Amino acid sequence: MMRWMLGMLLGVFTTLLAQVPNQEVVLSASAGSRVGVAFPAPQVAGLDAGLVNRELRDVVVSDLDDAGPFSVITKSLPASTEPPAYPAWVQTGTDWLLVCRVSAQAASEMEVLLRVVDVKSGKPIFNKRYTGKAAVMRRVAHTIADDLTARLTGEKGVATSRIVFVRQLAPGVKEIFQVDRDGANLHQITHHRSLSLSPTIAADGRIAYVTYKGGAPEIWGQVKAGGPDVKIYPRGDSPAGHCFAPAWSPDGRRLALVQGDRRGNSDIVVFDLGSGRVRRLTDSNCINTEPSWNPAGTQIAFTSDREGSPQVYLMEDDGSNVRRLTREGNYNASPAWSPNGSMIAYVSRFEGKFDLFVYKLGEGKSYQITTGVASSESPSWSSDERQIVFSSGSLGGMRIYTTDLSGNTVRKLTEFAGCQSPKWTGTR
Amino acid sequence: MRTVRTIIPFAVLLTLGVGVACKKPAPAPAPEPEAPKVQAPAPAAAVDDMAAKRAAEEAAKRQAEEAARKAEEAKLAAYRKAAADVLQDINFAYDKSDVREVDKPKLQAIADFMKAYPQAKVQIEGHCDERGTVEYNLALGERRAHTAQAYLVTLGTGEARLPFISYGKERPKVQGMDEESWLINRRCEFKLQ
């Protein structure tokens, strides 16, 4: 349903031509050995072949390269994609051969026919027809990459995902932007000409964020998917106080947020959008902030200085059973619960700069991800848990990066500086 | 069509005429300037006397108004100057929100100003340096702003006249990655409302 709605929104319609009946998962993502894929230049009719190579083929190849379970074969490819040439493809290390035809009758509408052949067995394993406007060719490419990842692993890929983040446009003016996972398609979401901060995206794509447009910081965002941005909190009957750090619950019905009180303390409250009920989860003479839900929506990780320095804590969603998670270091913050619930990413400060860490709940141990000279902040997980997006840099020079969990593959997503608070989202 | 063509220039002229008439500033209400003409003619000297008297009254009134306006302006300027003199930033130690001894005289001066100008309302802005997470610093800015407010309340200013707000590390005063810049950025600003 979600995928279908997304497709509609983007004007991309995919139709199944001939689904191969055998749809079992070919390989587990954790199996280690990678599947060699080769994608020779598509046959093109009615469109610029260079454009198709650049915006479709190259994008699919780059997505598959980033996806993890694939190894893209690019060297000494045979000229023919016909069956007699299959053994020659096997020689190159190819497992899957992507045979693609792209055509356009009208200037705007294009058709992509994709056939994937397992060259070892000589059997087709995937066959699908994609249609859409030529202008959204990259979107079709990302959809193809996610389909192939799903065909291989049984899990949805992240090629179609996006990153929402805050960008400074002028001193004191910050707006919310989004960009495709591969850094293309930059798009401005808010136009408040004020300070807008801390975006959170619900599973159905609804955004919420902090904005100072009315003077004091309030939570604004979408109450309905695709609806206009409206003031969400505080409402007329809510307790007064400044609002920060909103976080949608996994079901999108509740919003955890931080409310400042008259004594300068900050507490985490949960606002139920349906009933309008507000529940305060923390009540202490200190700072409690940065709430992050577990995927079941039953627990919240947060940062508190209740024991003197900022540390990461966990609690139930009614505020009970508070326990401290981080033990080492005197500044641990920005917890981000992983999508399957087994890990919590956070930042830890050492010698004035932050690095990313991942705490594995099963092991009760932390692993350091980044060891940069710059400060790395605001981790947020990809839906497949293979990557983390974060901001990194120095004052005014923060950019958005992604990293795998080893910290070895760090990629810069934005060339421009003044970026913060990235959120990885599957749906916007 | 012909009718329309002939009407348009007239309409334009008419509109222009009306427009010009409307743009003229309304004349200051003169004290019945037509009155002497309709009454029985008075001796020329008497008319002159009356006119002179009226003119003198007018001038005096204008002078008084001008003086009052100037006095008001001077008062406002004095108020703004007094505000600018006393509404100085106070700064904080790293990750701290206590008022430093060195800043207490600044807060005393602000409290004195608030006493001298009972109508004054001042917003306290809490700010942080760049070292720390966005959200934690927003909370820390709240705490710093509240500390300044609480201190001013002990010096006799009502809480309602001192609303506070936090900007965390979102609006640094100076760009710089050294102790000096960080100290300048860890601050409360006081803004006249």
Final residue in a domain of this structure, among A153, A183, A198: A153
3-state secondary structure chain A: CHHHHHHHHHCEEEECCCCCCCCCCCCCHHHCCCEEEECCCCEEECCCHHHHHHHHHHHHHHHHHHHCCEEECCCCCCCCCCHHHHHHHHHCCCCEEEEEEEECCCCCEEEEEEEEEECCCCEEEEEEEEEEEHHHHHHHHHHHHHHHHHHHHCCCCCCCCEEEEEEEEECCEEEEEEEECCCCCCEECCCCCCEEEEEEECCCCCEEEEECCCCCCEEEEECCCCCCEEEEECCCCCCCCCEEEEEECCCCCEEEEEEECCCCCEEEEEEECCCCCEEECCCCCCEEEEEEECCCCCEEEEEECCCCCCEEEEEECCCCCCEECCCCCCCEEEEEECCCCCEEEEEEEECCEEEEEEEECCCCEEEECCCCCCEEEEEEECCCCCEEEEEEECCCCCEEEEEECCCCCEEECCCCCCEEEEEEECCC
Co-location of A368 and A259 in the same domain: yes
Q: What is the mean pLDDT of residues A7-25?
A: 38
Mutual angle of helices B104-116 and B134-154, in 10-degree steps: 60
- Please count the structural domains in chain A: 2
Inform me whether the C-beta atom of residue B96 falls under 8 Å from chain A C-beta atoms. no
| Domain assignment present for A27 | no
Chain B residues whose CB is inside 8 A of the A199 CB are none
- Which residue segment(s) compose the domain that A279 sits in? 162-425
Which region among A266-280, B25-39, B96-110 has the lowest average model confidence (pLDDT)?
A: B25-39
Q: What is the mean pLDDT of residues A203-213?
A: 96
Q: How far is B178 from chain A (nearest CA, A)?
A: 11
Overall pTM > 0.90? no
Co-location of A330 and A247 in the same domain: yes
pLDDT tens track for A90-144: 999 999 999 999 999 776 789 999 999 999 999 999 999 999 888 889 999 999 9
Which residue in chain B has the smallest CA separation from A291? B135
Final residue in a domain of this structure, among A103, A131, A153: A153
Q: What is the mean pLDDT of residues A161-166?
A: 97
Cross-chain Cβ contact B133/A197 below 8 Å = no
Q: How many CB pairs under 8 A join A and B?
A: 94
Co-location of A148 and A253 in the same domain: no
Cross-chain Cβ contact B165/A217 below 8 Å = yes
User: What is the Cα–Cα distance from A266 to A262, expressed in whole angstroms?
Assistant: 9
Co-location of A358 and A394 in the same domain: yes
| Domain assignment present for A370 | yes
Inform me whether the C-beta atom of residue A311 falls under 8 Å from chain B C-beta atoms. no
Cross-chain Cβ contact B143/A264 below 8 Å = yes
Domains of chain B listed by start with CATH number = 88-192 (3.30.1330.60)
Co-location of A98 and A197 in the same domain: no
Q: What is the mean pLDDT of residues B149-164?
A: 96
Cross-chain Cβ contact B136/A377 below 8 Å = no
Co-location of A243 and A117 in the same domain: no
| Domain assignment present for A90 | yes
Q: In what order do the strands lie in the sheet with A218-222?
A: A196-201, A207-211, A218-222, A229-233
Q: What is the residue-averaged pLDDT of chain B? A: 83
Co-location of A148 and A190 in the same domain: no
Cross-chain Cβ contact A378/B133 below 8 Å = yes
Co-location of A250 and A330 in the same domain: yes
Inform me whether the C-beta atom of residue A21 falls under 8 Å from chain B C-beta atoms. no
Final residue in a domain of this structure, among A153, A174, A194: A153
| Domain assignment present for A21 | no
